[in-house]
Structure 1
Amino acid sequence: MDKWIALVRARMCELKITQEKLGERIGVTQGAVGHWLRNERRPKLETMNQILVVLGLPPMEFALVTELAESSGSYGDDQNSATDAEGRIPQHNLYFRYPVTRWESLGVEDPEARFEATDYYAQGSAFWLEVQGDAMTAPVGLSVPAGMLILVDAGLSALPGKLVIARLPTSATPVFRQLIEEGGQRYLRPLNPTYPKVVCDDACEMIGVVVQATMKF
């Protein structure tokens, strides 16, 4: 709920939309919107997604989990979620779904692509890639071995030290590397020291920044 509130508040500020205007757009009072944004009441799941869509944001997936909470009468809940004998009430975790993309078809929409969920809200277009090869497998320290899924956010700036997806002018297939800077020159460096680093000049296309990595068994 806290993530949803922060996201909605930030978007309202960006669009200069008041609680009253938001309420008019979804057919509720300003007071109801205020209760939700102060976390005094919890809107229905459909309403939470309706607000996101009205604000130009993608709808979320919701996972229902049980968390410890005080069974106090001061907390309102539009879903009438009852506490159990141990004082637990259902809480809603929010997730975004992004497509799993093939390396050779980045930027091409695949209607048959599967989607993976995460709580990360991307700043731009985002997608998952499955790591291939051992160029990013390090003997010590940070390592991203083959088989891991990496989440790429195309809306973030590629800064030295970040893990990035980039396309070199010598190849149509992008690469997964760490962007570094030495002596004023930028390079794409593999985490595996047996692979060479390559110069990243103006002809090097930055596709996105890697923000998460997961492994499924």
Structure 2
Amino acid sequence: METVGQRIKKLRKENKKTQIEVGKFCNVSDVTVGFWERDVNEPKGRALQLLAKLFNVDINYILYGSLNNLSPVKSSTVQTVPLLSTVQAGNFTEHMINNNEVDEWINTTFSISSESFALKVVGDSMLNPLGNPSIPEDSIIIVDTLQFADNGKIVVARIDGTDEVTVKKLVIDGPNRYLMPLNPQYKSIPINNNCVIIGVVKGVQIEL
């Protein structure tokens, strides 16, 4: 049975790449690439995403192989996004986050653009006592910055004068716009030109 390391080595040879070239593309050392190929350890997070991008294959092919073992799977089903702090997310529209600034990456199967990130929810303002949708504190949400923020969407937004972001439901009522919590114990926040919508929440990442 072909191992992860054997698939990586095969892909590297097919694409006529050296371990140094693969390492530079994936922001790791050539020694690390050698460890991958010898199955000492496996690529994870951003390195795994970049490896799949370099060889133009699906992440699942690298990890598990194609179903018929004849050819790599080309269609992406899993994407890896950076898990940002609230401050990083608040600055996301001003500059792209450098890979070196990210400590953790999250795998997701949500349909998202490449300009997406994950965020851990702080506080219980989106905890809905009446049922779904509900986003408890410490939940990990997947945010797409290229998704259009329409009425009723749950968004990540930054109020002018702050560095951090908030997660709320966007409500548009004629000329009036609000950021509405799902928890009725909290008040809605009126917004006009004092708010930047960072992105739309595509879903809550559940980890068991």
**Which TM-score band (shorter chain)?**
0.5 to 0.7
Q: Compute the displacement of 1:61 (Å).
A: 1.4
Taking structure 1 as reference, are residues 78 and 206 closer, same or farther at Cα in structure 2, changes over 3 Å only? Answer: same
1:109 aligns with 2:107: no
Higher relative CO (Cα under 8 Å, sequence separation at least 6) belongs to 2
- Counterpart position of 1:143: 134
Q: Offset of 1:64 from its aligned partner?
A: 3.8
Residue 38 of structure 1 aligns with which residue? none
- After TM superposition, list the pairs within 5 Å mapping 1:79-118 onto structure 2: 79=70, 94-106=77-89, 107=92, 108-111=97-100, 112-118=102-108
User: TM-score scaled by structure 2?
Assistant: 0.61
Q: 1:185 to 1:59 in 2, by over 3 A?
A: farther
For the residue of structure 2 that corresponds to 1:100, the secondary structure is strand
| Residue 183 of structure 1, CA deviation | 3.8
More strand by share: 1
Count the aligned residue pairs: 149
1:64-213 matched pairs, under 5 angstroms = 64=64, 77=68, 79=70, 94-106=77-89, 107=92, 108-111=97-100, 112-141=102-131, 142-213=133-204
Amino acid at match of 1:102: S
Pairwise CA distance, 1:148: 1.0
Q: Deviations over 1:68-104 (max 9, x none)?
A: xxxxxxxxx5618xxxxxxxxxxx9731111111112
Structure 2: stretches of 5+ with no match in the other structure: 1-14, 16-49
Deviations 1:53-73 (A, max 9, x none): 69xxx8641154999xxxxxx
Over the residues paired in the alignment, what is the CA RMSD in angstroms? Answer: 3.3
Change (3 A) 1:50 1:194: closer
Q: For 2:59 and 2:157, locate their aligned partners in 1 and report how far apart those are by CA, in whole Å.
A: 30
Deviation at 1:113, TM superposition (A): 2.1
The whole-number CA distance in structure 2 between the counterparts of 1:100 and 1:195 is 26
